[in-house]
């Protein structure tokens, strides 16, 4: 009788082991190819994103769509564990220019409602939010990115330069932490 009862226990252990193995493999596939959490470090995207917020990033944009203007993206900083969070402004083939605190894409002013509070702060300080630059032509396979906190952002205007498509890790979908500030970022 004891022999018969150990066989179902072995099967139960094997079933649990299989379930755990499948769960681990599935979690790894999801994290490496579909979605991954990232933490915002710094104030370059303020007030849209704040230092310490945690984002859920959609990594499928390379094979299930395309990168579009306005997307908030995570950029591989080419150093281990260094990433940047920026907004896509210029697409391949675009000409980007800022003049008199207005941003132009291919000669047309880009309306950026997400900058309203930053514009008020810049006016109070007597500064332009977006200093003059360009025109800058964006080559094929590259993107022009900027932080929403234009007064305090290293981006395609300075330091980061144009971003090759393969450096874009994914698109921010939503903030999931802190829990009282959960919000969509698209």
- For the question of residue 86 being annotated catalytic, the response is yes
CA atoms of 13 and 36, how far apart (whole Å): 31
The residues that bridge with 75 in the sheet, in sequence order, are 84, 168
CA atoms of 86 and 121, how far apart (whole Å): 20
Point out the catalytic residue in the list 6, 9, 10, 44. 44
Q: Is 139 exposed, middle or buried (0-12, 13-18, 19+ CB in 10 A)?
A: exposed
Point out the catalytic residue in the list 9, 43, 86, 120. 86
The residues that bridge with 87 in the sheet, in sequence order, are 72, 146
CA atoms of 106 and 93, how far apart (whole Å): 9
Please say whether the beta carbons of 172 and 186 come within 8 A: yes
Phi, psi torsion values for 144, nearest 5 degrees: -100, 120
- For the question of residue 44 being annotated catalytic, the response is yes
Among 90, 125, 83, 124, smallest CA distance to 110 is for 90
Write out the catalytic residue numbers: 44, 86
């Amino acid at each position: 009788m004891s022999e018969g009862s150990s066989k179902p226990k072995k099967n139960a252990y094997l079933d649990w082991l299989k379930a755990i193995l499948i769960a681990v493999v599935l979690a790894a596939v999801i994290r490496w190819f579909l979605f991954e959490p990232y933490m915002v470090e710094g104030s370059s995207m303020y007030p849209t994103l704040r230092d310490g917020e945690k984002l859920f990033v959609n990594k499928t944009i390379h094979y299930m769509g395309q990168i579009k203007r306005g997307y908030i993206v995570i950029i591989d900083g080419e150093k281990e564990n260094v990433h940047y969070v920026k907004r896509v402004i210029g697409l391949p083939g675009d000409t980007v220019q800022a003049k008199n605190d207005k941003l132009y894409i291919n000669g047309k002013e880009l309306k950026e409602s997400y900058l309203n509070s930053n514009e008020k702060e810049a006016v109070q300080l007597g500064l332009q939010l977006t200093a003059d630059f360009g025109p800058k032509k964006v080559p094929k396979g590259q993107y022009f990115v900027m932080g929403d906190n234009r007064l305090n952002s290293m981006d395609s205007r300075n330091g980061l330069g144009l971003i090759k498509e393969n450096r874009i890790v994914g698109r921010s979908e939503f903030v999931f932490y802190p829990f009282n500030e959960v919000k969509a970022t698209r």
